[in-house]
Amino acid sequence: MLARLRARPEVRFFGVLPQVDRRLAYAWWVLLLLRGVLPAALAVSMGALVGAVERGAALDGPLVAVGVVFVLLQILAPLHAEVGSNLGDRTGAWLNDRLMEATLGPPGIAHLEHGDLVDDLTMARDFDLGISGPPLSVSMGFIAGGLAEIVVGIASAAVLFGYAWWAPPLLAGAWGSTHWLLRESSIWRNRQTDEVNLAQRHADYTYRLAVDPPAAKEMRLFGLAGWTVDRFADRRRRLVDLRWEATRLHERPIRWALVIVLAANALVFWSLADSVADGRLGLGSVVAFAQVALGVSALAFGGLNWALPISAQPVVAVLKLREAMAPSGALEQRAEGDAGGMPAREIRFRDVSFAYPGAESRVLDGFDLTIQAGTSLAIVGQNGAGKTTLAKLLCRLHDPVSGAVEVDGVDLRDLDLAAWRARVTAVFQDFVRYDLPLRDNIAPLGAPDDAVLAALAGAGASSLATLDTILAKGYEGGTDLSGGQWQRVALARALCAIELGAGVVILDEPTAQLDVRGEAEVFERVLAAARHSTTILVSHRFSTVRHADRICVLDAGRVVELGSHQELMALDGRYRRMFDLQASRFGDDTDVGEEDADVVALD
Ligand SMILES: Nc1ncnc2c1ncn2[C@@H]1O[C@H](COP(=O)(O)OP(=O)(O)OP(=O)(O)O)[C@@H](O)[C@H]1O
Ligand SMILES: [Mg+2]
């Protein structure tokens, strides 16, 4: 029971506040209680004042009391609003910090490739942008108002006990029943259904298609503008319909609520009037009791029922991600061996099996491959063969399900993770384009300008921009690059890392957007720069692949051919078929110059 209560989103929300800022949270609660109690105190002091007037007694005391309570009422509300907004801001920052810890903390990346966590991540990430609800600094005001009302209701009911024992439970029960009667309308209770999530995702997606520059070309070319707007409007309308359906006030419960509330109030006020008529109750008392009888109405269904769930949900999402992401992105660390100078002999995938989290089938199953240190290996294979997966395992972004990736006979799990990663440099297909100066795009953690310039020259990117030019539009002097130019920048990043001492270079289709000649040229330079390193290159271009010491043909997670270009050509197997196919295609391709075709068709 207690555990279930603790697991409630609202309880978890309030549990987070003191973790964010203990003093501010307590101040918020104290102010809230004071705000809640003051209306009842005003009713009592007004009653005392009227009673004093009636009796002809001294008025100073009651007047001062009324004045003090009234002034406090005026002061505390804005003060509470400020404290609440400050606490809301801090809570937003706290949640963002926790979210970043959850995403960046785990050493692996499985937690970010896990489909189940994606929805929570979206909600947790966007919670303070005003998309799914108002920002926390604003909702805190609504929540404070709603909670203060409840305290007002309870305090008023407590005072009303002074009149008759039955009046408070009757009124509080009547107003309280509205929560139960209108519960169907209390929150957007369908918020988390698959239908809502899907409609939300579709709406957000089509909105981004309409407003994001990258989609602009296809929007025009395929005449998708109208389609996008219609689709967006349709999904948004669906969301509004769902929300309306879930939160609208239903007629019958309202009728019942009215009957119950009217009956209870009629009874209490009739009794009060009767007591006054009988002379059992003085004027002062009736003023006080009538006011608190009205005050109990604050217990009715209201704003809190909407504001609290909307704010509590992202808190729950962040807390859940914090718990779920850590184990999902964890790596098994068995020792902290020194990775300095590795690999000296070889890298070996030994009987490696791997499946992505949540996926049913394995990408690799009993995979074996040895790469001699200081040599280059090219991996070719169809889309989805598992090439990038091998690169990720080698960088230790995931651990194998079984088997091991070994360096000089040492399991990667026995090596210090940071030290091993410092030995590796990789350019992935989806490398990051930093909104930073060119210099920082080459060496995000810093490097001497000479090394940066040499790397740029090596990647054929010397004349792209000055080192201080920010590679993004929208900044002063900022510029954007073409796809191929960006790839050269990414390659320069790898070259610079080699210069700074990386011993393993992984290039996952780093040159796919370069022209054939450019690719062959750049790759030769990379090989030259990395001649002391172990290089693993993934490419679909055989003109590049052939320069590697050895070539591995991968099919559905298995090595089907392995050898040098000459050996594989002589083998007359799959490699040769793919090579010949591409050579003949380039031979026919009028866009590729004669010499380029030669580069490919040579042999
Ligand atoms: N994050 C992921 N979650 C689940 N499955 C994935 C994930 N990434 C890749 N896969 C699956 O694993 C298999 C191998 O993918 P991988 O990216 O290694 O292929 P690849 O050989 O690099 O292909 P390509 O030439 O298209 O880059 C594919 O079937 C793919 O669908
Ligand atoms: Mg790939």
Give the whole-angstrom CA distance, residue 313 versus residue 304.
14
Q: Which pLDDT score is estimated for 131?
A: 62
Ligand 1 atom 17 nearest Cα: 388
Name the amino acid, one letter, at 580.
D
pLDDT band at 590 (very low <50, low <70, confident <90, very high): very low
For residue 17, with 0-12 CB atoms within 10 Å meaning exposed, 13-18 middle and 19 or more buried, which class applies? buried
**Which residues, in sequence order, are CB contacts of 318 under 8 Å at separation 6+?**
95, 98, 99, 102, 124, 127
Gap between the Cα atoms of 9 and 175, Å rounded: 24
Phi, psi of 30 (to 5 degrees): -65, -45
Closest CA to 183 of 261, 250, 134: 250
Q: What Cα–Cα distance (Å) separates residue 245 from each residue in 133, 184, 232, 242? A: 18, 10, 20, 5
Q: From CA 187, how far away is CA 8, in angstroms rounded?
A: 14
Tell me the per-residue pLDDT of 243-301, one tens digit each, with 9 for 90 and over. Answer: 777 667 677 888 899 999 999 999 999 999 999 999 888 889 999 999 999 999 999 88
Q: What is the mean pLDDT of the chain?
A: 88
Of the two residues 178 and 132, the one the predictor is more confident about is 178
For residues 377 and 549, is the Cβ–Cβ distance under 8 A? Answer: yes
The CATH architecture one would assign to domain 346-425+504-601 is 3-Layer(aba) Sandwich (3.40)
Report which ligand 1 atom has the smallest distance to the Cα of 390: 18
User: What is the model's pLDDT at position 221?
Assistant: 87
- List pLDDT tens digits, range 210-250: 888 888 888 888 888 899 999 999 988 988 887 777 667 67
- Atom from ligand 1 closest to the CA of residue 429: 27
Delimit the domains of the chain by residue range.
7-182+290-328, 346-425+504-601
Q: DSSP state, 456?
A: H
Encoded amino acid at 559, one letter: V
Ligand 1 environment, Cβ below 6 A: 113, 356, 359, 363, 381, 383-389, 429
Helix residue ranges, H only, 340-471: 387-394, 417-423, 438-442, 449-458
If one residue of 109, 328, 360, 363 were mutated to test the ligand 1 pocket, choosing by the most ligand atoms within 8 A of its CB, it would be 363
Specify whether the CB–CB gap between 67 and 59 falls below 8 A: no
Please identify, by atom number, the ligand 1 atom nearest to the C-alpha of residue 557.
14
| pLDDT score of 540 | 86
Q: What is residue 301's three-state secondary structure?
A: coil
Find out whether the peptide bond into 135 is cis, omega within 30 degrees of 0.
no
Q: What is the pLDDT of residue 82?
A: 94
For residue 303, pLDDT over 70 is answered with no
Taking the CA of 108 as reference, the closest ligand is 1
